[in-house]
A and B are shown apart, each in its own frame.
Chain A
Amino acid sequence: MRVPFEASLRALVRPTGAFAEPPPSLGRALARMLALWTPLALAHAALTVREGLQAYGQLRRMGPPGWMSRLLGADPETLWELFRDLPAAPAFGRIAPWLLVGVPIALLGTWIHHAVWDHAGLWLLGGLKGRRGFKTTLVAEAEALRIAALGTLAGLLGFLPGLGAALAFPLVLLEGYLWLFRGFALAARHGCAPWRGVAATVVHAVLLGTCALGLAGLMLVLLRVGP
């Protein structure tokens, strides 16, 4: 019996040998990444927006939960008044068409962002070889992100009722691994030691992510445990 995404799962389990094949062309790598990642990211974005709108509506109707007032250190009455005065959220149907435009742009932006910063990280660590330039990084990132799209698929499980809070921590761990996983693709395509590739993704995270990831993590936690 053929397991769905078998090759991708194998690559995630044994990342060092996952990129032994000759690299695809940039166009092919990009097309394969988008073909798998776009539908998953669209589903993820649609569910996130739907849940966000529901949580927003609930905040306006019922006021903030006790933990939020404590976290923000604000007077609950003042906070509730603030939420009551907020404008009504738009209907999901009005936002959905924008997701069709915004999600693919966000995916391309993520791909280029990762490529730029991982490339810089790899340079800082001495992992770049003479003739293999930025295009090699773009291909490696597209290959790795296509496989890492399975993380988006796993993230969809977090939307199942009752499972969101239970899966929050494992999903954060998975996201962390998938972040480092790009390093194996970088190392294989640039012909350097895997530790340099993985360390390049860590440098990227430290350089840009200390603040942004902390902020995003905090926001995610707020969304996950929200009403």
Chain B
Amino acid sequence: MRRVPWIVLGLLAVGLGLGLAGLLAPYADLLPGCAFKRATGIACATCGLTRSVLALGQGHWGEALHWYPALALLAAGAPLAALWDLRRAWRGDPYPALPASRALRFGAWLLLAGIWALQVARGI
């Protein structure tokens, strides 16, 4: 049984969204900025994400990496994810369940905290 490559479809939709976001880049200065940072003076976990999205939409990879390294790295890895998803769908395999490993979950939390700490340390 063939399966739907949902990740590929999702990536296509995200790619379309990024393209549209790139068109809005000239108006980015009109955005009021991060409310969390305005209130606390510290970058939030997603500070820099909007600017990174806008930069990706314009194809400025270096700029996107500067504003939100995690997003740029994810975007760079997207073709690999798409290939894996196409192969999975072609072979008719279901999506594997997320691993139940506590260590992996803890690692994911650390990664998220690390991304946030990086943004705070760099003063984004």
Min CB–CB distance A138 → chain B (angstroms): 11
Residues of B contacting A125 with CB < 8 Å?
A: 105
**Known pairs A215-B31, A215-B35; A207 contacts B112 (CB<8 A):** yes
Is B50 interfacial (CB 8 A cutoff)?
yes
Query: Contact partner of B44 among A124, A130, A211, A219, CB < 8 A?
Result: A211
B residues contacting A by CB (< 8 A) are 31-32, 34-36, 44-47, 49-50, 94-95, 97-98, 100, 102, 105, 108-109, 112
Nearest residue, chain B, Cβ from A109: B13
Residues facing B in A166-220 (CB within 8 A) are 206-208, 210-212, 214-215, 217-219
**Chain A's interface: helix, strand, loop or mixed, by majority?**
helix
Contact among A134, A207, A217 with B35 in the assembled complex (CB-CB below 8 Å): A217
- Partner of A124 from B35, B36, B49, B105 at Cβ < 8 Å: B105
26 CB contacts below 8 A, A to B, read A123-B98, A123-B105, A124-B109, A125-B105, A126-B102, A128-B97, A130-B97, A130-B100, A133-B94, A133-B95, A133-B97, A134-B95, A207-B45, A208-B46, A210-B36, A210-B46, A211-B44, A211-B46, A211-B49, A214-B34, A214-B35, A214-B36, A215-B31, A215-B32, A215-B34, A215-B35
Contacts of A217 in B (CB 8 A): 35
Nearest A residue to B35, CB-CB: A214
What 5 pairs across the A-B complex have the smallest Cβ distances? A214-B35, A210-B44, A211-B46, A123-B98, A211-B34
Could you tell me if A211 and B100 are in contact, using CB atoms closer than 8 angstroms?
Answer: no
The smallest beta-carbon distance between B78 and chain A, in angstroms, is 15
- Which secondary structure characterizes the binding site on chain B? loop
Please indicate the chain B residues that have their CB under 8 angstroms from the CB of A206 in the complex.
Answer: 45
Residues in A with CB closer than 8 Å to B100 are 128, 130
Among A124, A130, A212, the residue within 8 A (CB) of B46 is: A212
| A129, closest chain B residue (CB) | B100
- 1/0 contact string of A111-134 vs chain B (CB within 8 Å): 000000001000111101011011
How many chain A residues sit at the interface, stated as a range, is 20 to 34
Query: Residue on A with the closest CB to B99?
Result: A123
- Tell me how many residue pairs across A and B have CB atoms closer than 8 Å: 50
Known A123-B105, A126-B105, A206-B45; judge A211-B98 contact (CB<8 A): no
Chain A residues, CB < 8 A from B46: 207-208, 210-212
Inter-chain contacts of A210 with B (CB < 8 A): 34, 36, 44-46
Does B47 lie within 8 Å of A211, measured CB to CB? yes
**Bound-state Cα–Cα, A128 to B46, Å:** 25
Complexed CA–CA distance, A212 and B35 (Å)? 9
CA–CA, A75 to B47, complex, Å? 28
Write out the residue numbers on chain A whose beta carbons fall within 8 Å of the beta carbon of B94: 133
Q: Which residue of A lies closest to B96 (CB)?
A: A133
| Cα separation A119 to B100 with both chains bound (whole Å) | 13
Q: Which residues of A contact B35 (CB under 8 A)?
A: 211, 214-215, 217-218
Of B36, B102, B105, the residue contacting A211 (CB under 8 A) is: B36
Rounded to whole angstroms, the CA-CA distance of A125 and B98 in the bound complex is: 12
The interface residues of chain B lying within 8 Å CB-to-CB of A124 are 105, 108-109
